[in-house]
Structure 1
Amino acid sequence: MKKLIFKILKIALPLLLGFFLIYYSYNQFTDLERDKIYSYLLDADYTWIVLSVILAFLSHLSRAWRWNYMLETLGASPKFITNIMAIGAGYAMNLIIPRSGEISRAAIVNRSDQVPMDKAIGTIIAERVLDLIVLLIITAVAILTAGDAIINFFKAHLNSAFAKAEPLKILLYSGIFIVLVFLIIFISRRIQLFNRLKSFILGVKEGFVTIWTMKKKWWYFFHTLFIWVMYVLMFYVSTFAIPGIGNIPLSALLCAFVAGSFAVAFTNGGFGAYPYFIAQVLLIFGISEPLGTSFGWILWLSQTLLVLVYGSLSLLLLSVKGSLSGK
């Protein structure tokens, strides 16, 4: 029963968060601001968006190629097209159930090349952690280049908030925050989160040992770099789709990119959170919220459409392939 409740919450909570952010974002705009958002969406130059989709798809192809370098260390070498379909199916599954795509990818190569599930998942965890390290490096660069703008923004808002806040309310909210922290720690211990984290770290360690001992590790790192260059370029070229976004400084571009990347982790494929987070970050750099929201939605819709088409085709082809091999 507990496992069922946990699974339901795992699906429902990110969706509810996404719906809440959409509702909150929509209702904070005036009718005039909503009209501006619609006009930005209609008048955008979608040639740049098509180019961004192509760049994103190249990153997916590179990811499929990179995966084989690690699978080869396990004595398997699935066909490139198999990896492409596995990754496409994984992305599609992540839109429905967060983090389920990794299991789908492992199951596909397990069925096609008899790669053990646990080892296949280990390769995926290792590449995810390596990608996270790259994202954290980009995050550090973004914060360093935009430090003054971020500090001044939060300083102004905190000063404004504390000027209006009552001491009693501050104490009350602080007390609630402390209670919540203790509850989270208590619940985490009850569900043995720390044991799971220990197991995860050991798996990651084993995965990284595999990366450094594989024959083509430098090609693996090259594809990792290529994937993230494509991600950033995809984001960059999209800025030219809407007038007023294309001339933002590099620091704003990187901060918005990082915000969007982390937003994907909070909800199903960034549903609701992606455009909201991007708009809030761009606001720090003087981009109006309607303009930032429009930009965020164009990016999210185009990339989600790519995942839906790519994922659906992958699932269809895998189904056909399974039917043919079953005959």
Structure 2
Amino acid sequence: MKKTLVKILKILLPILLGGFLIYLSYSQFTSAQLEEIKVYLRDADYSFIALGMLFAMLSHLSRAWRWNYMLAALDKKPTFLNNIIAIGSGYAMNLIIPRSGEVTRAVIVNRTDDIPVDQGLGTIIAERVLDFILLLAITATAMLTASNEILKFFENGLESAFAKANPIKIITYSIILIIIISIGVVLLKKLKLFQKVKGFLAGIKDGFKTIWTMEKKWWYLAHTLFIWFMYLAMFYVCIFAIPDTDSMPISAVLCAFVAGSFAVAFTNGGLGAYPYLISQVLLLFGYSAVVGTAFGWIVWLSQTFLVIIFGLICFLLFSMRK
């Protein structure tokens, strides 16, 4: 019963969060502003959106090709088509249950090429670690290029917070927070959960090491750079879809891209979170909430449409091959 409840919550909570963010985003707009967003969506230049979808598709194909470099270290090498089927199906599953795509990929290549699920998952975790490192590098670059806007935002926020804050309450709450964190750390060390987390991190470390021991590691790294370049190119070309964003500075592009990338982890494929976070980031650069929201929805809808179509085709091919 408990496991069933956990599974249900894993599905429902991200959907509810996405729905709440959609409500939070649109509750701030008047009917005239909502109509303005609709006009942006209707009149967007979808030739740039199509180009962005092409770049995204190239990244998916590169990811499928890259995967075999690591699987070869396990003396396994599925066909390129089988890898595409696994990756497309995994992306589609992430829209239903966040982070379930990794398991889906491993299960599909297990069915098609008899690769053990745990070994398949190990290679996927390793590539996710490398992808996350690159995302962190892009995040650092975005923060450096937009340092003035970010500092201004925090300065205004801190001034407003300290103007209303009570020093005694701040000290009291800080002490309570430190005590709670300390107790939590002690309890975790005594529980089996700590050992599980420790073992999981060790597994990630071992999986990441295989990147440097594989036969064609430089090709693997080249594909990784190509994948993220395509992600950035996909996002960048979309700014030309509407007139009010076609002169967006690179600092704003990078910050919005990072916000969108992290939003995908919060809800099902970024549902609600993607356009909301992008609109909040673009506010720092002087763009209105209407423009930022419209732009966020244009990018999210186009990429989600691609994932759905790509995923359906892959599911169909998988069923035919079985």
Could you say which TM-score interval applies, normalised by the shorter chain? over 0.9
Listed one character per residue, the Cα deviations across residues 275-324 of structure 1 (whole Å, up to 9, x for unaligned) are 000000010010111000000000000000000000011001101111xx
| Partners of 1:219 and 1:24 in 2: CA distance | 44
Distance of aligned partners of 1:174 and 1:294 in 2 relative to their CA distance in 1, 3 Å threshold: farther
Aligned-residue Cα RMSD (Å) equals 2.4
Deviation, 1:204, is 1.3
Moved more, 261-270 or 244-253: 244-253
For residue 260 of structure 1, what is the aligned residue in structure 2?
260
1:160 and 2:160 aligned: yes
Deviation, 1:203, is 1.3
Provide the secondary structure at the position in 1 that maps to 2:244.
coil
| Partners of 2:22 and 2:295 in 1: CA distance | 15
* Structure 2 counterparts to residues 132-143 of structure 1, below 5 A: 132-143=132-143
Distance of aligned partners of 1:244 and 1:292 in 2 relative to their CA distance in 1, 3 Å threshold: same
| Partners of 2:308 and 2:179 in 1: CA distance | 37
| Partners of 2:12 and 2:168 in 1: CA distance | 31
Provide the secondary structure at the position in 1 that maps to 2:98.
coil
Question: TM-score, normalised on structure 1?
Answer: 0.92
For residue 325 of structure 1, what is the aligned residue in structure 2?
none
| Partners of 2:217 and 2:62 in 1: CA distance | 14
What are the ranges of 5 or more consecutive residues in structure 2 without an aligned counterpart?
A: none
| Partners of 1:98 and 1:34 in 2: CA distance | 29
| Partners of 1:184 and 1:79 in 2: CA distance | 51
| Partners of 2:220 and 2:282 in 1: CA distance | 33
Moved more, 179-188 or 121-130: 179-188
For residue 121 of structure 2, what is the aligned residue in structure 1?
121
For residue 56 of structure 1, what is the aligned residue in structure 2?
56
| Partners of 1:67 and 1:90 in 2: CA distance | 14
| Partners of 2:43 and 2:175 in 1: CA distance | 46
| Partners of 2:247 and 2:183 in 1: CA distance | 43
| Partners of 2:141 and 2:281 in 1: CA distance | 15
| Partners of 1:205 and 1:168 in 2: CA distance | 43
Provide the secondary structure at the position in 1 that maps to 2:245.
coil
1:178 and 2:177 aligned: yes
Question: TM-score, normalised on structure 2?
Answer: 0.93
| Partners of 2:234 and 2:195 in 1: CA distance | 38
* Structure 2 counterparts to residues 57-76 of structure 1, below 5 A: 57-76=57-76
| Partners of 2:209 and 2:185 in 1: CA distance | 34
Distance of aligned partners of 1:246 and 1:119 in 2 relative to their CA distance in 1, 3 Å threshold: same
| Partners of 2:269 and 2:179 in 1: CA distance | 27
Distance of aligned partners of 1:4 and 1:249 in 2 relative to their CA distance in 1, 3 Å threshold: same
For residue 94 of structure 1, what is the aligned residue in structure 2?
94
* Amino acid aligned to 1:49: I
Listed one character per residue, the Cα deviations across residues 3-41 of structure 1 (whole Å, up to 9, x for unaligned) are 222222211111111000000111011222212111111
| Partners of 2:182 and 2:11 in 1: CA distance | 22
Moved more, 139-148 or 181-190: 181-190
Distance of aligned partners of 1:21 and 1:119 in 2 relative to their CA distance in 1, 3 Å threshold: same
| Partners of 1:180 and 1:49 in 2: CA distance | 50
Deviation, 1:170, is 5.9
For residue 239 of structure 2, what is the aligned residue in structure 1?
239
For residue 28 of structure 2, what is the aligned residue in structure 1?
28
Moved more, 281-290 or 181-190: 181-190
| Partners of 1:184 and 1:133 in 2: CA distance | 31
For residue 103 of structure 1, what is the aligned residue in structure 2?
103
1:319 and 2:319 aligned: yes
Name the % identity.
Answer: 59
| Partners of 2:87 and 2:197 in 1: CA distance | 25
